Amino acid sequence: MRETAPKRYRLAAVTSHPVQYQAPLFQRLAAHPGIDLTVFYGHDDSIVGCVDPDFGVPVAWDRPLLDGYQSAVLRPHAVAPNLIGRVAAESAIIGHLRRGRFDAVFIHSYATRLSILAYAAALLSRTPILLRTESELLRPRRWWVAGLKELVVRPVLAVTDAVLVIGEANRRFFNRYGVEAARQFWTPYAVDNEFLSSGREALLPRRAALRRAFGFPDDVVVVGFSGKLIPRKNAAELLDAVAALQHEGIRVGLLLVGDGPERRTLEERVRNLGLQWVALSGFRNQTELPSCYVCFDLFVLPARFDSWGLVVNEAMACGLPVVASSMVGAALDLIEPGRNGFVYTLGDVSALTEIVRTLAASSNMRTQFGVRSRAIVQDYSFAADVTGILAALRSVAGAPAEVLA
């Protein structure tokens, strides 16, 4: 008798545009024998290389973002309609979900125009909804914002069949708005740990030469930052901490990887403070990141607010000690104070300075912290995400015996 092919969950995913952090997850979901995935993107600006409004430069990610899974773009870049045209293009998601007869739809965010349309389409077609959002409770909200969220978020989450929890701050958000534990599934925020780790290892023999190219002598401890040079990322606070240590005669340098509207201000501040061993690399694409991370001795994310901060994952995958402000969501999950890094209160430059001083003074501590960072971040992986999404699918769509585990 001829064997029938095992059934698979038909899963749709709806998100704004292709990004370097989501594509590897979609590729792994599509490769799983129990999942038939189709991703619907609102637009493809990140593929064609449009100017990023925060980086301030054209950005086209240099790793394949559309390979390995089925996808459709609702509004290709070649089509540039007005607002009415954009809404009409995105509204096509309603027909896609109705005709697709998916077992579930995986929606990123609940507060964008596309996600609202996807919610409407899912409800109309009675397609179970899996929601993934970065929402948290780290920031204090004005009373009227809190009231509005209460009116909007609770009803949205009430019709959401399952939520995909990225971390502890995110879990606290869902708990606050009444999502019971049975509807919460662990899908931790992740980066391509293997790509970064192996890339850095391959470059270790060239570490001294790469550091010298940025102007760092061999005996200078290099503090690293990676991200958009915008006020929210708060690179100036880190620059002040490094300046304080240099003025004491401590050989600490700083490498800022990224670009944005604050770049000129930071460069001017470096000149005014008379600092040595400070380099701004400009925007670096994904395949270039390991050559920057290999130059770092420790990593700091001093953000005024970051719902997660995937650069912390990247630094840990590269075996680095990590430091973050108290307003970085990832700090709740990824940083074990005194074991792989430290968390300081946002705005306390003295505390940040002391942390950098402590790490700069001990290469043994940095090595031990880096080993622990790698161990921790292994649990924050795309494999863990696939496991969580499969559990959510079983919960909302049942578990036919034919579906592969």
pLDDT digits (tens, 9 = 90+) for 333-358: 999 999 999 999 999 999 999 999 99
> Alpha-carbon Rg of the chain, whole angstroms?
22
Which has the higher per-residue pLDDT, 316 or 55?
Answer: 316
pLDDT tier at 83, thresholds 50, 70, 90: confident
| Domains along the chain with CATH numbers | 9-190+381-397 (3.40.50.2000), 193-377 (3.40.50.2000)
Tell me which long-range contacts 276-280 makes (C-beta under 8 A, separation of at least 24). Answer: 276/246, 277/215, 277/216, 277/217, 277/220, 277/222, 277/246, 277/251, 277/252, 277/253, 278/239, 278/242, 278/253, 278/254, 279/214, 279/215, 279/216, 279/253, 279/254, 279/255, 280/229, 280/256
Choice among 59-68, 297-306, 396-405 with the minimum mean pLDDT: 396-405
pLDDT tier at 403, thresholds 50, 70, 90: very low
Give the pLDDT confidence of 272-299 residue by residue, as tens digits.
999 999 999 999 988 899 999 999 999 9
Tell me which long-range contacts 340-346 makes (C-beta under 8 A, separation of at least 24). Answer: 340/316, 340/369, 340/370, 340/372, 340/373, 340/376, 341/369, 341/373, 346/234, 346/302, 346/304
Task: Give the pLDDT score at 7.
Answer: 77
Distances in whole angstroms, Cα of residue 377 to Cα of each of 193, 313, 326, 357, 399 = 8, 7, 19, 25, 30
Give the pLDDT confidence of 178-228 residue by residue, as tens digits.
999 999 999 999 999 999 999 999 999 999 999 999 999 999 999 999 999
Give alpha helix (H) positions in 227-362: 235-247, 263-273, 289-293, 310-317, 331-334, 349-360
For the cut 60, the answer to whether the pLDDT of residue 400 exceeds it is no
Give alpha helix (H) positions in 102-142: 113-125
Q: What is the rounded average pLDDT of the residues 234-246?
A: 97
Q: What is the rounded average pLDDT of the residues 386-399?
A: 94
Token readout for 255 is 């490498």
DSSP for residue 378: T
Which has the higher per-residue pLDDT, 50 or 317?
Answer: 317
DSSP for residue 80: -
